[in-house]
Amino acid sequence: MKIIILLGAPGAGKGTAAEGIKAATPYMHVSTGDMLRTAVKAGTPIGREAEGYMKRGELVPDGVMVRLVEEKFDGGPADKAYMLDGFPRTVEQAEMLDASLARRNSRLAHVFYLEAPRDLLVARLAGRRICRACGANYHIVNIPPKKQDVCDTCGGELYQRADDKEATINTRLEVFANQTKALIDYYTRQGVLARIDAAAPRERIIGQIVDKLRMAAGQ
Ligand code: AMP
């Protein structure tokens, strides 16, 4: 199993980068936020447990998250390549991920930290729209669809996530600063962190990550 991580505050562009990386590499996109939203919609036990935290913009407890990710790893073939988006978000989750990888004789290859200033994060979150059908990401100013509220790729309806409203955005950015930022030190110490300027154009961000992955794979 091969793992890379996309780390960054909400709005840094992890999901958008993941779409481009997925198209150019064997890495499968695993977004814990997407998995949780699906679980909430389906009313599964994990979904019922997670719903309140998500609505408030708080973190879902580590135990629930680790269960969710372990199930994903267990369900796929052993040689699979995963790109984690939104996980880990706490040092506890990162330690549990390390232990889980060690049990599978795997190691973390790269962590890409998408860095962006706060005002850019807020502007991206507030303008973000998502396709209900295929999950594609848009932005009302930066990546507008050809037709308003309609997905270019599949024709699905675009919507705004409930937690992309202003009050919840502030909580989520605070949670990132208080809990997730510690991971930057954690992965710097492991020597796997690469910093990416998330204010750069989408193509440059994706290009930098894809080049690094290809170089590491000897391509
Ligand atoms: P995201 O789509 O990554 O912004 O995640 C949306 C929400 O899902 C977050 O605000 C959290 O409530 C929850 N969530 C997603 N991933 C995690 C995680 N690794 N740990 C805790 N909560 C998470």
Q: What is the pLDDT of residues 109-118, one digit of tens each?
A: 899 999 999 9
pLDDT of res. 189:
96
Q: Which atom of ligand 1 is nearest to the CA of 58?
A: 12
Is 14 considered catalytic here?
yes
- Name the region of 155 (left: φ>0; alpha: ψ -120 to 50; beta: rest): left
Indicate if the pLDDT at residue 219 is higher than 90.
Answer: no
| Sequence-ordered list of residues with C-beta below 8 angstroms from that of 42, at least 6 positions apart, any chain | none
Q: From the CB of 10, is ligand 1 less than 6 Å away?
A: yes
pTM: 0.93
Cis peptide bond upstream of 77, omega within 30: no
Q: Which residue out of 22, 67, 161, 202 is catalytically annotated? A: 161
- Tell me, what's the pLDDT at 109? 87
Find the catalytic residue in 2, 37, 129, 172: 172
Question: Residue 212 belongs to what H/E stretch?
Answer: helix 202-216
